[in-house]
Structure 1
Amino acid sequence: MGRDPGIHREGNEKAGDPVTAALELRDLRKSFGKTEIIRGCSLLVEQGERIAVIGPNGAGKSTLFNLISGRFAPTSGEVLLNGHRIDGKKPFEINRLGLSRSFQITNIFPKLSVFENLRCGVLWSLGYKYTFLKFLADLDDANERAEQLLEMIHLHKKRDVLAINLTYAEQRALEVGITIAGGANVILLDEPTAGMSRGETRRFIDLIKEVTVGKTLLTVEHDMGVVFGLADKIAVVVYGEIIAYDTPERVRANQRVQEAYLGTAPTQEAH
């Protein structure tokens, strides 16, 4: 698909003023052998926007996230973070440039406490890198930031509980805390509410809104209640292409999107 969905801008910027998107995809493509999974995706996400990425199973949504976060290198095309190309960089390099992501499967340190998980997440951003000359308990700034995160994700009462003993929803909240711990300004959440009850989902939406204030958010999500309750815009991926990128109201009324969800659009298994 061409770049039209990716270069749509709304706002009050003056003609001629440069606009640096938080994230931009330019004709992004990914093939596995002879099978093309991502087929020319272009997308432009402004600073502070919340974008939901939706589409049928096998549409290529997770592959797209893996390209953005550096798990996969694109076959062709470009990924720009805050105006700088990141395609081809390693995931840890991209993270240090200001992009962080969570995964469909919860990624935490199960044998560490909630507090210790969060403290691990803040160390690099505070400049501690690989040092064995300090006791973690003596790192006042890291401990203070971890305490702040505990409050933000509403797990302060579970501070010293091992992560493995949290409920599923609490583990997902902890993962979100770890994801934002390094101070990234672009956050990718991959199916954050999967497996939650309706009540847990409602509370989790509120949590995501709270912890991503001032940040740019992309989330892959199947629960349309979450999508319409959270997103400023929706990107619809079908068969490796972005077939629509607009406000929730306009996407809901888009005939091509309706056809895709009725099963008349082509589908293909994606990695």
Structure 2
Amino acid sequence: MTATTPALELTDVRKRFGQTEIIRGVNLCVQRGERHAMIGPNGAGKSTTFNLMSGRFSPTSGSVKLNGQDIGGKPPFEIYRMGLSRSFQITNIFHRLSVFENLRCAVLWALGYRYSFWHRLSALRDARLRAEEVLELIGMTHRRHAQAGMLTYAEQRALEIGITIAGGAEVILLDEPTAGMSRSESDHAVELIRKVTVGKTLIMVEHDMSVVFGLADRISVLVYGEVIASDTPEAIRGNPKVREAYLGTTLDDAVEAA
């Protein structure tokens, strides 16, 4: 890996389910340290592309590279060990554990701990310290002992972001991180995402255009399984192909409506 090696690179990636081709030759290059958003109409293939990046799906053809290493076909846990972590649209936490316990679980594997019956979790100082660092980073120290299932929806999403970054991954995938939030909750989530991804590479799928344009350095637009544009927010806003993809609604209108 060199200094110019992209954090994540998809080259002519295709994905079929039976006879149906969902992803039709996606080419995408995300540089290290970049905040990159994927947008597009419903059914464009955004979630499928995310699943190809994280190992949930294997590409039918083409390559997916993480820091120059081919990860196409590798299981998610191996990709996680290589430095890529993701969140999901549906909040994915341990509802009966406390906020702190959720974060401690997230750091154990990254620190090299495996399933063991003779290690007391309370004795694992490095896991405790790392969990406390993330707890402070996401602003939930005051909720340390709260049962995760009793948190508000916005707090649960913040906890999930904490779980996603807890293992120290350098490439973070967030799938609709502000979905279902009020405007004030969404604004808070954006600031949290901006803070926790400093120095990391962020790739997100998001429908809220105000979040996308307020956070992303670059934006890629997917339509029918293809990337039709990948550029700066300013260039994407004025791209005629993107306007057409949104059925005649300009992105200015979409931002204002969000």
TM-score by length of 2: 0.94
Q: Distance in 2 between matches of 1:67 and 1:132?
A: 35
Q: Distance in 2 between matches of 1:33 and 1:239?
A: 17
| Cα shift readout 1:11-61 (whole Å, capped 9, x = no counterpart) | xxxxxx872110000100001111110000011111000000000001000
**What secondary structure sits across from 2:110 in the alignment?**
helix
In the alignment, what sits opposite 1:82? 67
Q: Distance in 2 between matches of 1:236 and 1:263?
A: 15
Deviation at 1:131, TM superposition (A): 2.0
Q: Distance in 2 between matches of 1:138 and 1:24?
A: 40
1:240-259 matches, within 5 Å, as: 240-259=225-244
**What secondary structure sits across from 2:92 in the alignment?**
coil
Q: Distance in 1 between matches of 2:4 and 2:163?
A: 30
1:103-252 matches, within 5 Å, as: 103-252=88-237
In the alignment, what sits opposite 1:6? none
**What secondary structure sits across from 1:213 in the alignment?**
coil
**What secondary structure sits across from 2:109 in the alignment?**
helix
Q: CA RMSD in A?
A: 1.1
**Which consecutive aligned stretches of 4+ in structure 1 deviate over 2 angstroms post-superposition?**
none
> Is 1:39 the equivalent of 2:24?
yes
Q: Distance in 2 between matches of 1:163 and 1:205?
A: 21
Deviation at 1:133, TM superposition (A): 1.6
Q: Distance in 1 between matches of 2:117 and 2:35?
A: 39
> Is 1:98 the equivalent of 2:78?
no
Q: Structure 1 residues 262 and 134 mapped into 2: Cα distance closer, same or farther (>3 Å)?
A: same
In the alignment, what sits opposite 1:11? none
From 67, 70, 74, give the equivalent of 2:52.
67
Deviation at 1:263, TM superposition (A): 6.0
Q: Which moved more, 1:123-132 or 1:175-184?
A: 123-132
In the alignment, what sits opposite 2:254? none
Identity %: 69
**What secondary structure sits across from 2:174 in the alignment?**
strand
Deviation at 1:132, TM superposition (A): 2.0
**What secondary structure sits across from 1:28 in the alignment?**
strand
Give the residue type in structure 2 aligned to 1:69: S
**What secondary structure sits across from 1:171 in the alignment?**
helix
**What secondary structure sits across from 1:146 in the alignment?**
helix
Gaps of 5+ in 2: 250-258
Gaps of 5+ in 1: 1-16, 265-271
Q: Structure 1 residues 124 and 262 mapped into 2: Cα distance closer, same or farther (>3 Å)?
A: same
Q: Distance in 2 between matches of 1:212 and 1:18?
A: 19
Q: Distance in 2 between matches of 1:101 and 1:18?
A: 24
Q: Distance in 2 between matches of 1:137 and 1:82?
A: 35
